[in-house]
A and B are shown apart, each in its own frame.
Chain A
Amino acid sequence: MILVVVEHEAGAPDRLSVEALALGRSLAEATGEPLAAVAYGPGSAAIAGALGASGVATLTAIDDPRLAEYAPEALGKAVAQLVERDRPSVVIGTGSERGAEILAHVAARTGLPLAANVTEVRPGDPWGVTRQRWGGSLLEEARLDGPIRLLTVAPHAVKPASAAAPSQVAVEAFAPDLTDRDLRVRITSRVPAEAGVVSLADARVVVGGGRGVGSTEGFAELDELALLLGGTVGVSRVVTSAGWRPHAQQVGQTGTRIAPDLYIACGISGAIQHMVGARSAKAILAINTDRDAPMVTRATYAVIGDLHTILPAIITAVRAAR
């Protein structure tokens, strides 16, 4: 059995789960084993219909009223119990924060190795995986040992794909053996998101600023251009470490991953840890004094020179063009 731990919203598996299911199905086809899914939280059983498109044979819905709110330790224990009962050959989680956390708990409880952020799996003796290091700037080929192989899938490394013919999904409820102590870690309250702000991860245009911007005040031109283009400002780590801008605006390995139509990178050199956060940008316009900066050589377009003279000229030209 190939078992995928699925996260869902609005009655269907979320995007990363669909990717995990696509990897699961390719392994099910390669090994001739059935594809199974396990889901948790309210509405789990109701996603069965939507899983047919991914070729899932059985859905196990973790059924415990105490798990209405997310509780990572208890969920890890519940999935570990299911894994011990069914002994799948592979357990696949998403690379989301929750997917990574639950699989880590399963790994810790079962004592099995876990490969995180996998991009490719090669069944065989032994099984091999390709996985991401340095947030994706480096790939590792590794053995994945164990009678039961645990892995999480790197976000957007596997294309979501539908099964040739949708499957009939059998649903089973699974009541895990949990004590109240297992629920000591659970969400106890929430703070809702601020309404109406363009989120960096979803912005269509990101105007990025790095050390070259020089100061907090230096960002005025970037803010203005972002506003003109309906975008938002992103920054490098040098900028957040200096306290010029909050960390919430940092793009990169330890910040946010962006995927805009255009990333306008001003005074940013293009260190690998920054670039992994900007890899999904459809186009990059680099503004930099250094023609040989990695950001410039990796960009789609570039303007060479001082950003503080170039940005005002661009702002004026955009205004005039309207």
Chain B
Amino acid sequence: MNILVCVKRVPATAGKITLTADDRAIDTRYLGFTVSPHEECAVEEAVRIVEAWGGGTTTVLTLGPEEATDQLREAMAVGIDKAILLGTDGGEWGAVATATAITDAIRTREAADGPFDLILLGNEAADTGDYQVGVRIAVALDRPIVTGVKGLEVGEGTVTARREAPGGGWELYEIPRPAVVTVKEGINLPRYPSVPGRLRARKKEIERVALDPAAAAPSMIRLRVPVEKESAVEILGEGPEAAPRVVEVFRRLGLIA
């Protein structure tokens, strides 16, 4: 069982987004970095499937700057075996260019080591949210894809994927392998990396492929933080003494008679 997982390094923004002076990027000077929760779950799912299958190899891939090796090591710390960095100069890559570069890397790797039974991605990247890289890769490789998956079972020649149905409930898709699946947070509860896991990850090798920055093709012109409607908060009080005023608010909103 060979599984590839694609993750994207993004800033871990908290209470507020601040942009750089040219409005073309998030000011990350005081921020840490992470990957989307969807992708964390994709990593966990890959590790679990190989554990359950009793053998196989998991590989994590990212397209990003050298610093994105941090995110590859995070994935290896929870049990991913191998890592590939498609190295950029840190500039933004468009979704078409990203999918093309990842597809090329998959083809190269599969020509050498045989096919990935399963390719896992996030349903959408945390930052750009383009909702398309997984589908573009699947179509280019002519493999079936299910998106937005919150439950996955890998069988002998098939994969059964479960996702939320529009009006509630679930819809199930049974598709042949090899396949591509994009995952949503909630499919599993990712484990925390152990200390020995982190130590092992630090020693593992990362395969690096340098990309041509000319292929990046970003379409972004500028970023803008949406204006929030000014709301002056009404402080109802401090501590339990505020309870009667809370009840007044409930009444005003028609929540209690």
Q: How far is the CA of A76 from the CA of B146 in the complex (A)?
A: 13
Q: Point out the residues of chain B lying under 8 angstroms from A49, CB to CB.
A: none
Give 5 nearest A-B pairs by CB, closest first.
A193-B168, A247-B186, A313-B240, A108-B139, A104-B135
Min CB–CB distance B133 → chain A (angstroms): 9
Which label, helix, strand, loop or mixed, suits the secondary structure of the B interface? mixed
**Interface hit among A25-33, A127-135, A211-219:** A127-135
Are A104 and B128 interface neighbours, CB within 8 A? no
- Chain B: which residue is nearest A144 at the CB level? B219
Known contacts A138-B225, A241-B189; is-contact A269 B15 (Cβ 8 Å): yes
Are A285 and B139 interface neighbours, CB within 8 A? no
Q: How far is the CA of A192 from the CA of B168 in the complex (A)?
A: 7
Are B38 and A254 interface neighbours, CB within 8 A? yes
- Chain B: which residue is nearest A230 at the CB level? B255
Point out residues on A near B: beta carbons under 8 Å: 9, 70, 72-73, 76, 96-98, 100-101, 103-105, 107-109, 111, 113-117, 128, 130, 132-145, 152, 184-194, 199, 204-205, 229-230, 237, 240-241, 243, 246-248, 250, 253-255, 261-262, 269-273, 283, 285-286, 291, 293-294, 296-306, 309-310, 312-314, 316-318, 321-322
Min CB–CB distance A96 → chain B (angstroms): 7
Q: How far is the CA of A271 from the CA of B176 in the complex (A)?
A: 40
Contact partner of B14 (CB less than 8 A), chosen from A205, A248, A272, A298, is A272
Q: How far is the CA of A270 from the CA of B185 in the complex (A)?
A: 19
- Can you pick out 30 interface pairs between chain A and chain B where the beta carbons lie within 8 Å of each other? A97-B148, A104-B136, A108-B99, A113-B94, A113-B95, A114-B130, A138-B224, A140-B223, A140-B224, A141-B221, A144-B219, A152-B131, A188-B174, A190-B171, A191-B169, A193-B169, A194-B168, A205-B255, A237-B37, A240-B186, A240-B189, A241-B190, A262-B249, A271-B14, A272-B15, A293-B15, A296-B233, A301-B233, A301-B246, A318-B256
Contact partner of B185 (CB less than 8 A), chosen from A96, A189, A250, A305, is A250
Min CB–CB distance B161 → chain A (angstroms): 9
Total chain B interface residues with beta-carbon distance under 8 A: 85
B55 within 8 A of A: no
Q: Point out the residues of chain A lying under 8 angstroms from B185, CB to CB.
A: 247, 250, 254-255
Are A187 and B173 interface neighbours, CB within 8 A? yes
Point out residues on B near A: beta carbons under 8 Å: 13-17, 26, 36-38, 94-96, 99, 124, 126-132, 134-136, 138-140, 144-148, 160, 162-176, 184-186, 189-190, 219-226, 228, 231, 233-244, 246-247, 249-251, 253-257
Known contacts A138-B17, A247-B185, A254-B36; is-contact A309 B239 (Cβ 8 Å): yes
Q: How far is the CA of A48 from the CA of B53 in the complex (A)?
A: 51
Q: Point out the residues of chain A lying under 8 angstroms from B175, CB to CB.
A: 184-185
Contact partner of B186 (CB less than 8 A), chosen from A107, A248, A283, A285, is A248
Q: Point out the residues of chain B lying under 8 angstroms from A139, CB to CB.
A: 223-226
Known contacts A254-B184, A272-B17, A317-B247; is-contact A142 B220 (Cβ 8 Å): yes
Min CB–CB distance B257 → chain A (angstroms): 7
- Chain B: which residue is nearest A303 at the CB level? B242
Known contacts A107-B136, A304-B235; is-contact A73 B249 (Cβ 8 Å): no
Are A137 and B17 interface neighbours, CB within 8 A? yes
Q: Which of A70, A253, A286 has its CB near the most chain B CB atoms (within 10 A)?
A: A253
